[in-house]
Chain A
Amino acid sequence: KAGVTQTPRYLIKTRGQQVTLSCSPISGHRSVSWYQQTPGQGLQFLFEYFSETQRNKGNFPGRFSGRQFSNSRSEMNVSTLELGDSALYLCASSLGPGLAGTDTQYFGPGTRLTVL
């Protein structure tokens, strides 16, 4: 069974640009969560989608947005990029909704975004 895939794996952008990252969950999984990992702030939760609806949201500005499609694939968009947005962006998928571990989350390898 294929794991969680994220594309692209590496991305370089400049300040002010926008970027879209993609996450394909494990087949049959309907929940996708997004996380940002930086050396300074560590791991932070961005948002979770289930059945095309955002269920949970972390404390990030409105420049960070996401969506989920009917096939459960999810995209995350960051507009007006700042240097501080440079990070590893992880997504995770699980069968059911929620973050509380009822269904195990499986993480993808991440997309490394560098903002110059």
Chain B
Amino acid sequence: GNSVTQMEGPVTLSEEAFLTINCTYTATGYPSLFWYVQYPGEGLQLLLKATKADDKGSNKGFEATYRKETTSFHLEKGSVQVSDSAVYFCALIITQGGSEKLVFGKGTKLTVNP
């Protein structure tokens, strides 16, 4: 089946620290991969995406590379800010039989302290 596993949180970092949130997937086929973010009190937003192997998605200083060989899509940021505190969701979309299946990870809560 199709599934997404991301590191369990919560993750607490100090401002300017390096961030990695691990995400691995299992899929029957070649999915598109996404990171979504949910800021406190706000709606879910698409953060970045990659649609094929070796693609790198990037936005707001965050990056993730689609690694087919390790079935991973880890989220990284070189220097986090307090405003990055949010819940991050890794997700995949795969097309099967003409229908799209969207699967989310459980989410990782990130808290950045000043």
A residues sitting closer than 8 Å to B (CB atoms) are 3-4, 35, 42-45, 48, 55-58, 90, 92, 98-101, 104-110
Contact = CB atoms under 8 A, between A and B. Distances in A.
Interface residues of B, number: 22
A56 B99 CA distance: 6
A85 to B, nearest CB: 18
A38 to B, nearest CB: 11
Contacts of A42: 89, 104-107
Given A42-B104, A42-B107, A99-B93, A108 B43 contact: yes
Contacts of B107: 42-43
B95 A100 contact: yes
A100 B32 contact: yes
Contact of B100 (A56, A92, A107): A56
Interface stretch (B20-28, B45-53, B69-77): B45-53
Nearest to B104: A43
Interface in B46-101: 46, 49, 51, 89, 91, 93, 95, 99-101
Given A48-B100, A100-B32, A107-B43, 10 more contacts: A42-B104, A42-B105, A43-B44, A43-B89, A43-B104, A43-B107, A100-B51, A100-B93, A106-B43, A108-B43
